[in-house]
Structure 1
Amino acid sequence: MNERHNKIIEILQKERRYVTASELAEKVHVSKKTIYRDIQEISENNPSHYRIIKKENNGYSLEFYEENKWNAHGEFEHPEERRLNLLLFLLSIAPCKTSIQKIAERYFVSQSSIMNDFKHIEKKISPYNLHLSRKNDGTFLEGDQLALYRLMSVIIESYLKQTGDSFNQDDIPDSIKDIKVKNIRLDEIKKLLHDMQVEHDLLLDKPYYLTLFCSLLSIIEKHTNRMQLVAQEGKIYEEIDKDSAIYSMTKQLVDKLELLYAIRLKPYEMYSLYYILKAYKLNSKFLLNQDTKGIIDEKVKTLAEHLILKVTENSGYQFMEDKELVERLTLHLHSMVYRLNHQIYIMNPIIKSIKTNFPKIFNLVKCSSKELNKEGIYDKYITDEEIGFIALYFQMSYDERFANKIPILIECSSGIGTSHLLSGKINKIFPEIHVKKIIAQQRIKQSDYNDVELIISTVKTHSIVDKPTILVSPILNDEDKYKIHQFIKNYYQQQSSYQNNYQKV
């Protein structure tokens, strides 16, 4: 098609109504006769994803239709490829409904084959707390948006890995990674995101890349399959700043999307893309510490302090003393709060690795955040993905300040003040020791001894026999210091011996 043909298609796409030949002629500066000839030539080109409909006395309208665009590589070689494609389709249109008949027509198979596909799909979605619902008015996936995006992102990452993109992870389950992902939509979205990054000289972080990828796929599939807008999807959290670079970037992306698929995005869909890109830019600013003074929120600073204090209380490690942690976490929480306030659920591609390698820190942060919710300090649910990112900050602090220290418990009588004085002396004289707990003997529980290596007691009779215990004076005399020093020396020798034996095995 020539440039004028493309202009006619663009006008019909934007108008979303019947446009008369006279109107078209005026807009493209040609005669009505030329418009008639152009429409005929466009129709003869037999475009694969739209057609021009003529209605007497009303004019022309553009109708988009689907013609096997879901399969970019010909027919599926194995039923598992079709099932994975169908799963991705159901994820992208959720919570919108479709029918088994439409699905069967989409894949040129019988309805009984689709019913069998559903059995395989149900096994794949079960670990993600998703449910395939089949009701009289349609079939759809039930589950929260985060769960839908989690599974979508896994399939997208498997696709990226298969197409040779280095941008991938190792947490893709075997039930997905061994199946070839065939879907032309993914090729098209990947190109859109590549072009956007090149044009605007940016490099999207993986979590934002995946979130944007999922959002675009959902928008495209819902529009091209003429899905009805779900009421809760239309929420707008803040007005767009049309003078901002983020708006310009979003507008260009939306324009390309609308032209490529002959669709018109709803206002809330443009807003959601704008929020994601704004959150990415905000996150980048805080990470690079670029001009953040004007956007520092005192409420977020307070939230960071409460979270660190809560983790300190629940762990016994004095994270509040780590000024770098306080600063880094405060900056991170600014972008997190923006995301949660705008219901932007970013993917954490290494969440499985974080839970596996740092389970104590992850669970500690998760429990502490829930306590902040219960106490009314923060009213938003913090997702596991966000908890994972936060846990990394605490893990870094722990590794730098506490990992190689010997955790101890100071057991005392009721004289807590004296015990704190003793704790200060021990911390000053023995940097290898971390005083994790100070507890009066009458309040001590058996569980208090579980995560310490030594008990230093000012009480002549102590209540435990299976842990090393050193009886000391509250003023910590030379004999007490010697006994503690000997314990430290023996402790590290034993650790070194264990490590050597482990390496030999």
Structure 2
Amino acid sequence: MEKLKMIINAYKGNKKIMSAKELSLVTGFSEKVVRNEISNMLSNPSIKIKPIQSTNKGYELLLDKQEVKNFFKQQENKANILDYDSRKTYIINRLLLEKEYIKLVDLADELYVSQATINRDFREVKEYLIKHNLTVSVKPAHGISVEGDEVSKRLCFVHNNSHLLSSDLKSLTQICDLEPEDYYIIDYILHKNFITYDFYVTEVGHKNLIIHIMYMISRIKKGDYIDSVEVEYEISEVELKIAREIIENIERKYEVTIPENEVDYISLHLLGKRAGHEDLGLKISESTEHLIHKINLKIWEHLELDFRQDFDLFYGLALHIEPMITRIKYGMSLPNPLLKEVKLKFALAFECAVIASKVIYETYKKRISDEELGYLAIHYNLAIEKNEKKGNEKKFLLICSSGFGTAMLLQRKIKNEFNVGNENIKFASIKELLEIDLSKYDYLISTVTIPFEINQKVIYIENIMSDINIGDMTLVSNKKLYKYLNKQTFFTENLGETKEIVLKNICKKLNDFDIADKNLLEEILKRESLSTTEIGNMVAIPHPFSLYVKKTVLVISILKRPITWQNKKVRYVFLMLFSKEDLGIQHELNEELIEYVTDSKWLLKLDEIQSFEKLLSLFKGEK
């Protein structure tokens, strides 16, 4: 398209017809390239308005300067708006920015998609708008428009476009009728005021606030103001001062008059984006303290993870939850660029966050976005990792006679596989054993036979690269999931066309096999309602909110055709069910499962499997 653009821009002044040779001389392309570019454009059925036509005298330009500009803008839109997410963003923006009614048929033309596609997209858009307290008004023969208060429209816009900040700043500023330089001007205004008042805002919150202010400027220029802001939380004098300073700076720079209600709007965002900082001192409200204790109690009841006396976690959550409650109360969003990685790598911690979201909903009757759950999960993952390290302070004594290199290999293996620090791994020769207090060590591992008796069990290994079993610990082969596969829970037949039907059919089969009881489906759907379990790679990992089975089992379903789970297509369904006795290994098993399902090559191998025996071999890592 860039070559075609240069060819069309070669037409200067009043000259409307140029030969391939003339266009070649101006553009620097060969005559063959010129002819091919124009021919490809003329034969492309998706390009309805042709900017050039071929005549006996040469190539005739059919559009004026503005029409040429519009033509390439349309082609650029077409190139950028092909996937569902981009179409969804575009449709929402059009509805939020347009005061008049818009017809779906016009949106279909703008996006170069069929009427059926735009109807399907619009159903998802409508649900998205409802989540942001906005409704769709339909007027026969006129089209559709969005209705709702100004605050809800702004929050929806920012949530819909925040991803552009890192990927397409130019488009984001253009949507707000601004230039990229304006982003940096507003960034400077915020930084200056935050430094002046010694006020701390997270980096994500800072960038998010810039988008709010850019859109605020755009709306005010068009005469769209906030009528009122209901403030239910106490806003400090510092936050009000900063908000007023920011508003005054914006008024001077952009020559606009901003109403007082906008000060409250900015103040609320400062309250919701404020970062906890130890130097400021933290005043933990009684309600927040009670909420955290209630959350951790529920986590203990559901997952048997005990955080009830973890002060580091309590403090970190308190710092985060105070401003988070403000955000969810007023429908504010805080983008989470780490969300996908958190859901994949910190599966157990994310489940803790899901349980927290249920408690918060019961308390405030407000649902929490996946982005917020991701931030809570980070806090819980830190606590989980700390507990794992704390619970694995075993001391090892390595007895080697084949040289320092072998000892170092063995040390590295134990360190990596057992998560043991170097300080808890010591070395000794056979001679030194007689002089060492062996009672200080939990495990003695030897590569050579000890020729005398010692009053402690020794674990012998013949091959430094072989597996080592140490009670409930295993080295080298971390593959354990295969032990929980069951021929009765491997499905390759068609189980339905929707998420609900697929889950219903899986649960029915598990009920028939007496693997799970009739409440399983209800518990799985309850968990799905809190946060979707699709993770990409056409994979979903549904699981019950709080239900245990008699025996831990991994259920696998390979669907004949991909289905839409919530936002993404899913073909592989992995349902991990735990017995209460195996809760201690759920983190380990979940991590192994995530390692598999995020590997596209592994999924391709799974695709080829039709028998349970081959499935078992795949999970064992056998070739």
- Residues 153 and 81 of structure 1: CA distance in aligned 2, closer, same or farther (over 3 Å): farther
Match of 2:346?
A: 358
| 1:112 Cα offset (Å) | 8.3
Structure 1 contact 196–253 (Cα < 8 Å) conserved? yes
Contact 1:279 1:338 in 2 (8 A): yes
Q: CA deviation at 1:372?
A: 5.2
Partner SS, residue 320 of structure 1: coil
1:180-208 CA-partner distances (Å, limit 9, x unpaired): 98555252541233221442354753331
Residues 95 and 140 in structure 1, CA contact (< 8 A), matched pair in contact too? no
Contact kept in structure 1, 2:233 and 2:326, CA below 8 Å: no
Q: C-alpha offsets along residues 217-276 of structure 1, whole Å, 9 cap, x if unaligned?
A: 33233233334x576x643445766x53x3343223223433455443343322111221
User: Match for residue 202 of structure 2?
Assistant: 205
* CA-CA distance at 1:405 after TM superposition: 5.8
Does the alignment pair 1:250 with 2:243?
yes
Distance (Å, rounded) in 1 between the aligned partners of 2:251 and 2:119: 33
3-state SS of paired residue (1:354): helix
Aligned equivalents of 1:214, 1:118: Cα separation in 2: 32
The answer to whether the aligner puts 1:448 opposite 2:580 as a matched pair is yes
**Would the alpha carbon gap of residues 371 and 341 (structure 1) be closer, same or farther in structure 2, given more than 3 Å must change?**
closer
Give the secondary structure class of the aligned counterpart of 2:280. coil
Q: How does 1:252-331 map to 2 (within 5 A)?
A: 252-281=245-274, 283=275, 286=276, 288-293=277-282, 295-331=283-319
Asked if 1:235 is matched to 2:230, the reply is yes
Match of 2:378 in 1: 392
1:153–1:214 Cα contact (<8 Å) kept: yes
C-alpha distance after superposition, 1:124-169 (max 9, x if no partner): 7877743695733764458976664332111233124xx7xxxxxx
Instruction: Give the TM-score normalised by structure 1.
Output: 0.51
Report the alpha carbon displacement of residue 371 of structure 1 after superposing the two structures with TM.
4.2
Q: Is the 8 A contact 2:342 2:350 kept in 1?
A: yes
Q: TM-score, normalised by structure 2?
A: 0.42
The CA deviation at 1:392 is 0.9
Question: Is the contact made by 2:193 and 2:245 (CA closer than 8 Å) also made in structure 1?
Answer: no
Instruction: Say how many residue pairs are matched.
Output: 324
Give the direction of change, closer, same or farther, for the CA distance of 1:207–1:141 in structure 2 (3 Å limit).
Answer: farther
Q: Distance in 2 between matches of 1:138 and 1:126?
A: 15
Structure 2 distance, partners of 1:225, 1:339, is 27
Given that 1:85 and 1:182 are in contact with CA atoms closer than 8 Å, whether structure 2 keeps it comes out as no
Q: Is this contact kept in 2: 1:366–1:387, CA < 8 A?
A: yes
Equivalent position SS for 1:226:
coil
The 3-state SS of whatever aligns with 1:344 is: coil
Root-mean-square deviation (CA), in Å? Answer: 4.8
Partner amino acid, structure 2, of 1:235:
E
Provide the C-alpha distance between the structure 2 equivalents of 1:255 and 1:180, rounded to a whole number of angstroms: 24
Q: Is the 8 A contact 1:312 1:319 kept in 2?
A: yes
- Paired with 1:125 and 1:389, the residues of 2 have a C-alpha distance of 30
TM-fit CA distance, 1:433: 7.7
Return the letter of the residue paired with 2:162: S
Counterpart of 1:156 (choices 162, 165, 185) is: 165
| Distance change (3 Å), C-alpha of 1:335 and 1:444 | same
Q: Report if aligned partners of 1:204, 1:280 keep a CA contact under 8 Å in 2.
A: yes
Note if 1:135 corresponds to 2:135.
Answer: no
The percent of aligned pairs where both chains have the same amino acid is 16
Q: How does 1:63-82 map to 2 (within 5 A)?
A: 78-80=76-78
In 2, Cα distance between the equivalents of 1:125 and 1:210? Answer: 29
Query: For 2:349 and 2:122, how far apart are their aligned partners in 1?
Result: 28
Long gaps (5+) in structure 2: 1-65, 130-134, 393-441, 444-469, 474-547, 552-578, 587-619
- 1:76 Cα deviation from its structure 2 partner: 6.3
Helix, strand or coil at the partner of 2:305: coil
Q: 1:180 to 1:198 in 2, by over 3 A?
A: closer
Please say if residues 300 and 307 of structure 2, whose CA atoms lie closer than 8 Å, have aligned partners that are also in contact: yes
* SS in structure 2 at match of 1:185: coil
- Residues 92 and 217, structure 1, Cα contact 8 Å, conserved in 2: no
Is 1:192 the counterpart of 2:185? The answer is: yes
1:370 aligns with 2:367: no
Are the equivalent residues in 1 in contact too, given 2:201–2:273 (CA < 8 A)?
A: yes
How far did 1:393 drift? 0.9
Could you tell me which of 379, 382, 388 is aligned with 1:402? 388
Name the counterpart of 2:100.
98
Structure 1 residues 302-358: Cα deviation after superposition (integer angstroms, max 9, x where no partner): 111111121122111222232211222222222222333444322222222212222
> 1:122: how far off?
7.4
Matches of 1:181 and 1:278 in 2, distance apart? 25
Alignment-derived partner of residue 50 in structure 1: none
- Asked if structure 1 preserves the Cα contact closer than 8 Å seen for 2:296 and 2:308, the reply is yes
Measured in 1, the distance between the counterparts of 2:91 and 2:580 equals: 52
Partners of 1:149 and 1:332 in 2: CA distance: 21
| Structure with more of its chain in helix, by fraction | 1
Deviations 1:475-500 (A, max 9, x none): xxxxxxxxxxxxxxxxxxxxxxxxxx
Task: Tell me which of 206, 217, 221 is aligned to 2:218.
Answer: 221
Rounded Cα–Cα distance in structure 2 between residues aligned with 1:180 and 1:380 = 29
Work out the CA distance in 1 between the residues paired with 2:207 and 2:118.
22
Say yes or no: does 1:349 pair with 2:351.
no
Mapped partners of 2:344, 2:585: distance in 1: 24
